Amino acid sequence: MLPLMKKRLKRIDPVQLGLVLGVTYALVSLLAVLFFLMFGMVVHNIADGEGSLGPGAGLITLLTGVGAFVFPIINGVAGLIVGLVTAVFYNLAARWTGGIEVTVEDST
């Protein structure tokens, strides 16, 4: 068994964390896009089949499709901003407290 080593995370590069979170948020939001598109298809099918939703159904379908395209972009930008701010705040807190201590081991 290899020895465990304690390491301390003293600083996070804000740009790097921002990029990682931006890409992560965008990828996760692609899952939400599936629900946007399914909702749009249901609304579209109800409006075409029965016409019970009235003239607003076309607008709902259009907005759902646009939302499915725009949502990952907006979420990715939000992740970038959150990552930048989080890293800056972490770096300040780590300066005062010494940072987060983690235990790591070498992989075999």
Q: What are the tens digits of pLDDT across the range 29-73?
A: 888 888 777 777 776 666 655 555 566 666 766 777 777 788 889
- Residues with Cβ < 8 Å from 53, sequence gap 6 or more? 43, 46, 47, 60
Residue 106 has pLDDT above 80, yes or no: no
Q: Per-residue pLDDT averaged across 74-81, rounded?
A: 93
Task: Compute the distance between CA of residue 91 and CA of residue 84 in angstroms, rounded to an integer.
Answer: 11
Rg value, the chain, Cα: 22
**If DSSP codes are grouped into helix, strand and coil, which group holds residue 105?**
strand
Tokens of 106: 């070498």
3-state secondary structure of 2: coil
Distances 1 to 4, 94, 103 between C-alpha atoms, Å: 9, 31, 15
